[in-house]
Structure 1
Amino acid sequence: GNLKRLTLELGGNDAGIVLPDLFDGASPERRREIAETLFWGAFINTGQTCAALKRLYVPEEIYDEVCRALVRVAENVPMGMGLEEENLLGPLQNRTQFDIVDRLVEDAKASGATVLCGGNPDRDAPGNFYPTTLVADIDGDAALVTEEQFGPALPIIRYTDLDDAVAEANRSEAGLGGSVWSADPVAAREVAARLEAGTVWINNHGAVDPRIPFGGVKGSGYGLEFGVEGLKAVAVPQVING
């Protein structure tokens, strides 16, 4: 009503693109570290983060390997009550969100996608605990890919042509964040520059720093938070002339 300056951060459906060289030259320990970083990019706060990794595009050449690596991580991350110190993942914030994630995963199952782990919630149990879920062999038009799930269910989409993967990543109306995963920093930056997102991480996802501007494009809003640019977004210079 009084024309205050504002920014709108409207959420996202962040895409990650894995390049075929991701594991090149990596030791078994390093491969595990990469898989863990990928996993937490998607599942931090049980996936309830605006800039979480919400759909992952993986090339045919290493698709099965990436899927197996993510399943190994998921199977070793306990979920449960936060008062129990060993639990690293918790419940969804409310039943409505539980139902949204449940609907999207059930839709993926019905379409013929493969559930690698999870996808079998106890709907009568207390709390809104939806199990950590990885979905493979899923079509790019499935609702779990095109809608923001905001929960612990990650679709892993197979691709054979990098240009197609970039086009699919950009097809979303959201443009908050994205990521590129590669052993080659130069190749990763080239792909990152093609993604329509306010922030693109390389070999990471969702790492927000208050010193660095953060904001979305397209349907993810406008304006910036954080950094000098974020302060300027909600301020106006006074000009004294004379």
Structure 2
Amino acid sequence: MLDLGMIIDGCQVMGQNSFAVFNPATGKAIGSVANSTIDELDRAVCAAKSAYPAWTALPDADRKAAIDKLAIQLETHQQKLAQLITQEQGKPLAGPGSNFEAGAAVAWTRYTANLEMPVKVLQDTSEGRVELHRKSLGVVGSITPWNWPLMIAIWHIMPALRAGNTVVIKPSPFTPLSTLLAVQIMNEVLPAGVLNVVTSNDQEANIGAAMAQHPDIRKIVFTGSTPTGEKIMQGASATMKRLTLELGGNDAGIILPDVNPTAIAEGLFWGAFINSGQTCACMKRMYVHDSVHDAVCEALLNLAKTIPMGNGMDDGILLGPLTTADQHAKVSDLVAQGAASGNVLLGGESGEGQFFHPTIISELDNSNALVAEEQFGPALPIIRYSDIDEALALANEFDVGLGGSIWSSDTDAAKSLAMRMECGSVWINNHGAIQPNAPFGGIKKSGIGVEFGEEGLFENTDMQVIFA
């Protein structure tokens, strides 16, 4: 069993108490981590605040070089990080699983290292020169979820560091190990206090709430549920913190009548079932034109039946368990409600422990809970439509708007329809394919602000305008 401590001011801190981390595929404990107190959080924030002046004063080229070194560190330990992700989160090593996640963490780090924050000249005339400068904030607090624990940690950490901030990160209590290891190995090249990590089971002390309220944390970046995001906003209001919130979605995919069902089946499957559906930008509901409904269902079904599920450490496995018992219970309940009203084409029932069989249910509508709520699991409801305006209205009906997709052989027509979808990202003939140079974020209750690219980097800065 691993026994990893927090990293505060460059040192490992074991804490007074600890809690266990379990493998969702086996139910067995795989590690033990420190259970932070408020005092230890304060120590971490104090360390980050003390390290900030020297870190933000570094020449830009030196800070860029330091982050490039972090990419090398992560790449050197990539295999060990991937194995830890599989053991604590459940996603397989193979396919779009833990090896993919660890590799993406390296790629995102390298890309972020090379982002720039040039001075923008707004005016340079005889009447004067006006410049827009981007300035670092101070201490950034990061709170990450359990579904992509390492990759999302990197999304939070790297732009904050690149912009000249220091960081205190709190990973999910279900998946802290990969983050703890990553922070540990990154501290081998970072100055002490620049990157700190605290862990908590969220029972003895509400560390996340304390971070939102902490007067010395200038920004919170959070990925997780909308209700928790609302609480973070409330907690941050007294100190007027900057916020980047990537919250829950209920992504819709719209299948037009001109598709080739066999050709799109694989994209549809992984768009909905990657990481066993435990991804914010998964396709959570699919609207299929009546003329191709049966053919699309058949093609999707034929593929889904061939995808092996099991312990992600085993060869050939492509789908793993649900990460938490609570999530398994939620998916079970929503699937039961869908099965009661619709036509179960595949699955519809739990496997052993926290496994849940891939499930496809047709003949549902927006009033069913499996459609209206974000299931965050391997269950896809299919809704039949006959008019595209009807499908768009149904796709836009709910108060979330993270991502969406249009599937068609006519790309131009699909783009035109994409502009009518109420969400932050729309994909044509795939779903959820994010990349580091494209801003990603939601509208409505799916969040505030964006991550990735120049726009995501700027979210870690204040603007200052200088008139000369």
TM bin, normalised by shorter chain, reads over 0.9
* Separation of aligned partners in 2, 1:166 and 1:33: 23
Q: Which amino acid aligns with 1:22?
A: V
Superposed CA offset, 1:214-239 (max 9, x none): 00000101101001111122212222
The aligned runs of 1:66-145 (5 Å cut-off) are 66-111=296-341, 113-122=342-351, 125=352, 127-145=353-371
In the other structure, the counterpart of 2:389 is: 163
Please say if residues 5 and 235 of structure 1, whose CA atoms lie closer than 8 Å, have aligned partners that are also in contact. no
In the other structure, the counterpart of 2:243 is: 6
Please say if residues 6 and 234 of structure 1, whose CA atoms lie closer than 8 Å, have aligned partners that are also in contact. no
What displacement does 1:141 show?
A: 0.9
In the other structure, the counterpart of 2:464 is: 238
Which of 397, 406, 409 is residue 180 of structure 1 equivalent to? 406
What displacement does 1:6 show?
A: 1.9
Aligned to 2:357, the other structure's residue is in SS state coil
What displacement does 1:68 show?
A: 0.3
* Separation of aligned partners in 2, 1:167 and 1:3: 36
Q: Which amino acid aligns with 1:241?
A: F
Superposed CA offset, 1:182-230 (max 9, x none): 0000110111010000000000100010111000000101101001111
In the other structure, the counterpart of 1:28 is: none
Please say if residues 179 and 205 of structure 1, whose CA atoms lie closer than 8 Å, have aligned partners that are also in contact. yes
What displacement does 1:240 show?
A: 2.6
TM-score (norm 1): 0.93
TM-score (norm 2): 0.48
Please say if residues 403 and 425 of structure 2, whose CA atoms lie closer than 8 Å, have aligned partners that are also in contact. yes
Percentage of matched positions with identical amino acids = 55
Choose between structure 1 and 2: higher helix proportion.
2
Report the number of matched residues.
231
What displacement does 1:139 show?
A: 2.2
What displacement does 1:65 show?
A: 0.2
Please say if residues 214 and 225 of structure 1, whose CA atoms lie closer than 8 Å, have aligned partners that are also in contact. yes
Please say if residues 13 and 54 of structure 1, whose CA atoms lie closer than 8 Å, have aligned partners that are also in contact. yes
In the other structure, the counterpart of 1:18 is: 255
Please say if residues 262 and 296 of structure 2, whose CA atoms lie closer than 8 Å, have aligned partners that are also in contact. no
* Separation of aligned partners in 2, 1:43 and 1:115: 16
Superposed CA offset, 1:29-57 (max 9, x none): xx534100111000000000000000000
CA RMSD of the aligned region, Å?
A: 1.1
* Separation of aligned partners in 2, 1:77 and 1:225: 32
Superposed CA offset, 1:3-52 (max 9, x none): 332211112000000000012xxxxxxx5341001110000000000000
Aligned to 2:461, the other structure's residue is in SS state coil
Which of 198, 220, 223 is residue 449 of structure 2 equivalent to? 223
Q: Which amino acid aligns with 2:340?
A: A
In the other structure, the counterpart of 2:423 is: 197
Aligned to 1:239, the other structure's residue is in SS state strand
Aligned to 1:214, the other structure's residue is in SS state coil
In the other structure, the counterpart of 2:54 is: none
Gaps of at least 5 residues in structure 1 are 24-30
Greater Cα radius of gyration, structure 1 or 2: 2
* 1:41 maps onto 2:265 in alignment: no
Q: Which amino acid aligns with 2:347?
A: G
Please say if residues 175 and 219 of structure 1, whose CA atoms lie closer than 8 Å, have aligned partners that are also in contact. yes
Choose between structure 1 and 2: higher strand proportion.
2
Structure 1 stretch displaced more, 230-239 or 191-200: 230-239
Please say if residues 13 and 176 of structure 1, whose CA atoms lie closer than 8 Å, have aligned partners that are also in contact. yes
